[in-house]
Amino acid sequence: MPFYHMWTIGCQMNKADSQHIACYLEQIGYQASSKVEEAEIIVLNSCVVRQSAEDRVINKLNALKSIKKTHNPLLVLTGCMVESNMDDLMYRFPQVDLFFRPQAFSELVQFLTDRHLAPDELEPDSILPKPSPSTFVPIIEGCDNFCSYCIVPYRRGRERSRPMEEIIGEVAELASCGTKEVILLGQKVDSYGHDLPEKPDLAKLLTGLNRVDGLARIRFLTSHPKDMNERLIEAMAYLDKVCEHLSLPFQAGDDEILHTMRRGYTIEQYRALVDRIRYAIPDIALSTDVIVGFPGESEEQFHRTFDLLRELRFDTVHVAAYSPRPGTIASRKLTDDVPPEEKVIRREIIEQLQKGIATELNVRLMGSTVEVLVEGQKNDKWWGRTRGDKLVFFKDEADCLGQIVKIRVEKTGPWSLQGSLIYDRQRGEFPDMTKAIPKMQPGNLSTHIVI
């Protein structure tokens, strides 16, 4: 069987796209390989959200020049590096045989079909994601927000929601093949449905997915604070399969910077939203993204970001140093005036702060029993995640892959937990952790916050 090699960097959307491409290549008879030398097709899935990611893609493309000369595989580049006008890319990277935008998957199908490497009858839309215990399911592509620093809307286009029935059908099929958890993806996942004829929203989709047999968990990301509404909070609180986990980037702790970023909310509104979510779902694990060193960010403004992180105590924080992206509003209109070494210092300050907070939050889980969906094995340990997205490692002889198990937490650190399996050896089975735990009723939720 011929081999393909896939290389991916960037966000979960890229990972989902790579899973989709891998699935297609496997359906037409290729097998995955970690060795570029033996691959007949090499696919690079790129990210250009920051210069550092773009540099890695360029290095990879340059490193593949010699393989192209000696082995002549088909070299394919996709992801956010691919613009609609590809002339510049074609000039810079002549070793690449096909460039296709992430939203133009059918171009890959056409390219391989034209070369008689794929059968004519395989429709691009008929390709399912590969079922794994936890599977990404994109539900809305693109972004209409145009935050001033961000290149995503230019590369991934305008928002396009997938029909609800199509998503529910796909998730039901995945669940019947063993998927226990789906992670619904979108750059602004909470604006799902506004562009569809019947205008369903994410709360409605979650309600439909909650009824899928065999599915135990539902997550979704990334939420935009200005699109997160009361219906969605209620759905999260009420639906038993929806995990107590939310990714809600605030990006900056200062209103002036937020305004220049074109984020569409103030810190007071963000704080009120977090209060509301924590009231409705008391054990929610929150994750956020922040950017440090945005143009004009003073020491004082940076400290407001620091203070907000210290006050709200997130479970996870992704911190990035501002990187000007050609073509974005910020790169055209604002001066990148925070020196690179200052950006590094600010990033490290946030990382240190978060390490302390995450350590304290995780220590509280010591001795408790957590529910873990086992996703894989690393060295001699199984690993998986709790409903609150905590990474957990444990050792056991049994085959735990895809099981939802109980783990007693015996060691905690800032980034993961370790423990041992609570296993009913006499009965020879795992305790049933998939039973729905009743949640708060929607009637208990009264206050409304509209951002």
Is residue 338 within 8 A of residue 295, CB to CB? The reply is yes
Task: Answer for the pair 317, 276: CB distance below 8 angstroms, yes or no.
Answer: no
User: Which span sits near ligand SAM by CB under 6 A: 271-279, 316-324, 385-393, 418-426?
Assistant: 316-324
Nearest one of 45, 46, 17, 22 to 33, comparing CA atoms: 22
Residues in the chain: 451
DSSP 36: G
- Contacted entry of ligand SAM, ligand SF4, none for residue 387, CB cut-off 5 to 8 Å set by kind: none
Nearest approach, Cβ of 250 to ligand SF4 (angstroms)? 11
CA distance to 27, 45, 154, 168, 196, per residue, from 159 (Å) = 29, 21, 11, 19, 10
**Spatial separation of the C-alpha atoms in residues 288 and 278, rounded to whole Å:** 15
For ligand SAM, give the closer residue by CB, 11 or 216: 11
14 lines the binding site for ligand SF4 (CB under 6 A): no
Among 107-115, 118-126, 299-307, 315-323, the segment contacting ligand SAM (CB under 6 A): 315-323
User: Which residue type is seen at 92?
Assistant: R
d(CA 264, CA 227): 10
136: contact with ligand SAM by CB under 6 A: no
Binder of ligand SF4 out of 5, 101, 224, 304 (CB under 6 A): 224
Q: Are the C-beta atoms of residues 392 and 385 closer than 8 Å to each other?
A: yes
Q: Is 189 in the site for ligand SAM (CB under 6 A)?
A: no
Residue 415, interface with ligand SF4 (CB under 6 A)?
no
CB of 203 to ligand SF4, least distance (A): 20
Annotate each residue in 137-166 with x if it binds ligand SAM (CB under 6 A) or - if it does not, as one string.
Answer: ------------xx-x--------------
288 or 412: CB nearest ligand SAM:
288
118 belongs to the binding site for ligand SF4 (CB under 6 A)? no
Task: Output the smallest distance, CB 198 to ligand SF4, in A.
Answer: 24
Number of H helices, E strands in the chain: 14, 18
Under DSSP, the state recorded for 1 is: -
Among 276, 304, 325, 390, binds ligand SAM (CB under 6 A): 325
Q: Which one of residues 5, 219, 224, 245 is an interface residue with ligand SAM (CB under 6 A)?
A: 224
Beta-strand pair 417-422/404-412? antiparallel
Question: Which of the choices ligand SF4, ligand SAM, none does residue 146 contact, using the CB cut-off of 5 to 8 A by kind?
Answer: ligand SF4
The 10 Å CB-count burial string (b at 16+, else e) for 97-107 is bbbbbbbbbeb
Per DSSP, 366 falls in state T
Instruction: Kindly identify the residues of this chain, within the stretch 272-301, that bind ligand SAM according to CB under 6 A.
Output: 289, 291
Cα–Cα dist 297/293, whole Å: 6
Note whether 248 binds ligand SAM by CB under 6 A: no
> What is d(CA 150, CA 49) in angstroms, rounded to the nearest whole number?
7
Task: Write out the residues near ligand SF4 by the rule CB under 6 A.
Answer: 143, 145-147, 150, 152-153, 187-188, 224
Task: Write out the residues near ligand SAM by the rule CB under 6 A.
Answer: 11, 49-50, 149-150, 152, 187-188, 222, 224, 249, 251, 289, 291, 320, 322-323, 325
